[in-house]
Structures are given as structure tokens and as C-alpha cells.
Amino acid sequence: MNTHAELLSEHACFGGIQRFYQHHARSIGLPMKYSVFLPPQITIDDAGGKVPALIYLAGLTCNEETFMTKAGAQRLAATLGLALIAPDTSPRGAHVPGETDSWDMGVGAGFYLDAQQAPWAKNYRMETWLTAELLPLLTATLPLHPGRIGIFGHSMGGHGALTLALRHPTLFKSVSAFAPICAPSQCPWGRKAFSGYLGTDESAWAAHDATALMARLDTAPYPGGILIDQGLADKFLSEQLHPHLFEAACARAGQALQLRWHAGYDHGYYFISTFMADHLNHHARQLSE
């Protein structure tokens, strides 16, 4: 495993350290960026002071900076002793034909899966990068507890958090999401991305669809419960998100789900920052067990 990462910048933040990194991702074949907030309970030189970590997957058009600058998470994370990690949302500089033609496919829209179709398959390998390369890199080079990792995200990143948690339950101990794309096989965003990345055989899509993955289960993979917050003023709710389908799948599987609806809240970071504390506390409880 390549354990070299280039530190791009660091900033004191609520008694901890906010850092931005880049490393050469072998699975993707390109440099990939990610950000890390380390709480004050540890120092970068103290390998004995390992803390739980929470990975946040951002949505369409975002990058590794979006969450750290907009979500307002570091203050409470510092109090709870949680590290925060935010990876970029796609490869950059792959020069795949068409990758910058639209905002919901290609750059900024990797959908946290490994593409199977040309021309995307060579570089757009976000799932392997996150689970098999970045996570081992983080736990090998930073004082993070490898058995106490949670995952959450927003919109496309909510889809990523739910699907990666269901596909890799031994890697992640807790999961939550803000306004996630819950059934991508049944919405325009997901159908466009899945057709391009995975091909037109829709039977292959279920492996990356949170509702379909949950529907396959007969036991609850997250007994501590899953938390989802959804704004009722979200303009994408009816066409793109479909949380009611995931809710029904969880009920059939016996998976505890707290799906909270919020009048007046839309799809953006004002909504996310409002309920960020609830998500951090949700993860802190489960990661402390």
C-alpha cells in the first residue's frame, strides 16, 4: 500500500487541526484529494491517541472542501473527539470524453462506485479508492481507530454512504444521510449515471442501489439504527430522492431507521448545518460502543 500523502495545507480549528491532502491513487491512476479534521484529543505525533473517524461523502458538483467549509461540523466534532474525513467526489484530470459536459455525470459526479463501461472504467473507480485504498491509508498514517469508522453523506453522497455501508458492513460501524438518493435505479440522476458507468443492463444496478440492497436482507446490518434527514421544501424530493422506498425496504428487513421530515428545509447546506449536530451525536454513540 502506498502510504505517502502530500499535505497541501493545515489550519488550527477549534483546538484541533484542519488539513487538506493529496495522494496518488493507484486504483484511479490519478492524484486524489481529501480533507481531514483531527480533534484536539489527539496530536498528529501521538500514535497512541487514536480516535473514531467519520467519513462524509459530498454531493454532485462538490469536492473535498465543501463539507469542511460549509457544514459547521468541526466545533462539535472537537468536543466529541471525532475525526472527520471528506474525500473528493470524482477523479480530476482523467480527460474522459464528455466528463465535463454536464454537472450530474463525470467530474464532481463519481457516484461512489467502480465504473464498468468504457471510457469511464479506467479512472472512475471511486468505491475501490475509498474502501481499499483511502481508508487503509488514513488508518495507517493518522491516529484513527480502524474499528470505529462511520460514514454519512448528502444527496449523491447520501447514496454513497448508504450503499457503501450496506456493501461493506465490516468497514463501517454507523451510517446516516442527508437527503440521500435512496433508489437511484428509479430516478433520472441515478439512471443516467448507472447507464454510463455500469451499462444498460439494469440487473447490474441493484448492487449499487440502497433500496435494492436493503430489500435483499433478512437481518438488520446496523442494529444501532440509520438516521436520515429530509427537507420537505427540497425541490429534488419527489423526482430524485425517494426516501419512502428505502423506508419500506428497511421495514421489511427489520432495520431500524429514523427518517425525519423537516418543513421548510431545502436541499442545501443551510439544511445540512441545521441538523449536523444530530448526525455527529448519532455516530458518536455508535462508535463509542
Positions marked active-site: 155, 234, 267
Contact indicator for 213, 187 with CB cutoff of 8 Å: no
What cell numbers appear for 82 in the block?
471525532
What cell numbers appear for 103 in the block?
454537472
Strand segments, DSSP code E, in the chain are 6-13, 16-25, 30-38, 51-57, 83-87, 144-154, 174-178, 226-231, 257-262
Phi, psi dihedrals of residue 216, rounded to the nearest 5°:
-80, -15
Q: What angle do CA 119, 57, 166 make, to 5 degrees?
A: 85
Residues pairing with 242 in the sheet = none
Q: Quick one: which of 276, 268, 200 has its CA closest to 60? A: 268
DSSP letter for 1, please.
-
What cell numbers appear for 13 in the block?
480549528
Element (DSSP H or E) covering residue 279: helix 269-287
Phi, psi dihedrals of residue 73, rounded to the nearest 5°:
-95, -20
Distance CA 15, CA 40 (A): 5
Q: Quick one: which of 40, 233, 37, 28 has its CA closest to 112? A: 28
Q: Among all chains, which residue has been given the C-alpha cell 454537472?
A: 103
Distance CA 137, CA 190 (A): 29
Q: Among all chains, which residue has been given the C-alpha cell 473527539?
A: 81
